[in-house]
Structure 1
Amino acid sequence: MTSGLDLDSPRVQQIDSDEDVVRVRQLVRTVAVAAKLSLVDQTKLVTAASELARNTLVYGGGGRVEVSTAERDRRRGIRIAFIDDGPGIADLDLALTDGYTTGGGLGLGLSGARRLVDEFDIETAVGQGTRVTVTKWSR
């Protein structure tokens, strides 16, 4: 039993404020627990989601997150897409480099999130926004 949470229905959360970043963390944790990810995998996924939600807000000017479950080879996973209509990323290779930052932080947002998940995909175009999709699979 998954405590009444329908894992087959995708969930969408707007990201327009710091409070929304907290809501994204809570949503991802709730879905990860219901999908029976291990505590370690829950923590990794929530941490990656927090970084990516913050990037959506700060660099993308806000947007939305779509949280859904996925299945492959009898394994359940959590797939999360962060979508914004912001300025896009001009140099993706540079943005994915450890230590690179345009915001004065540690520069571990994208590259750190990529290391915390099992699958990481990014689509971006200058002037058209960015979509980052991550997946964490149960063990």
Structure 2
Amino acid sequence: MNLRSSVDIITEWDIVAARQLGRNEAKDVGFGTVDQARITTAISELARNIYLYAGKGKIEIRQITDGNLKGLLVIASDKGPGIADVRKVMEDGYTTSGGLGAGLPGVKRLMDDFKIETVLGEGTTISASKLLR
């Protein structure tokens, strides 16, 4: 089963809405407060990247239930410029926005599975999932 909900990212307030949706979904699945915080931090980073670099996009949150496995899948997608050098953006400390540079490597560490699909001039989709232990 795959329950789905999403937030369109257009303004900074949408980042807050995506975080809240993520926290609620994580709570529904049964994640504890520490994992809820990890998930909302990852969502916040992904939504912020959409806002800063693509202008607009979407955060989709799906509950994963497959046999005994339960968890959340977060999909961040946009039709922005794409990522020219994926290896570079995955380096710790790399930043183009003057931020802390936790960015995508931080999201990868916070979640259990992480995948980037990007095409220059067409956009980027990042999928990250966290499974309930």
> Residue 70 of structure 1 corresponds to which residue in structure 2?
64
Check the 8 A contact 1:77/1:138 in 2, yes or no.
Answer: yes
| Secondary structure in 2 matching 1:64 | strand
- Counterpart amino acid of residue 38 in structure 1: G
Q: Indicate conservation of the 8 Å contact 1:82/1:131, yes or no.
A: yes
**Which structure 1 residue ranges, 4+ long, deviate > 4 Å from structure 2?**
none
Give the C-alpha shift of residue 62 in structure 1: 1.2
Q: Distance in 2 between matches of 1:76 and 1:9?
A: 12
SS in 2 for 1:59: helix
SS in 1 for 2:54: coil
Unaligned runs of 5+ in 2: none
Do the aligned partners of 1:61 and 1:86 also contact (CA within 8 Å) in 2?
yes
What is the aligned partner in structure 1 of residue 123 from structure 2?
129
Are 2:110 and 1:120 aligned?
A: no
Query: Given the alignment of the two structures, is residue 88 of structure 1 paired with residue 82 of structure 2, yes or no?
Result: yes
List alignment gaps of at least 5 residues for structure 1. 1-6
Within the alignment, does 1:15 sit opposite 2:9 as a pair? yes
Offset, 1:75: 1.8
Per-residue CA shift, 1:80-126, capped at 9, x if unaligned? 10000000000000011011111111111101111000000110011
RMSD: 1.2
Distance 1:79 1:53 in 2: 14
What's 2:54 paired with? 60
- Percent identity reads 41
Structure 1 residue 28: deviation in Å? 0.2
Deviation at 1:73, TM superposition (A): 4.8
Letter of the 1:102 counterpart: T
Q: TM-score, normalised by structure 1?
A: 0.92
Aligned length: 133
- Seen in structure 2, the aligned counterparts of structure 1 residues 9 and 71 have a Cα distance that, compared at 3 Å, is closer
Match of 1:101 in 2: 95
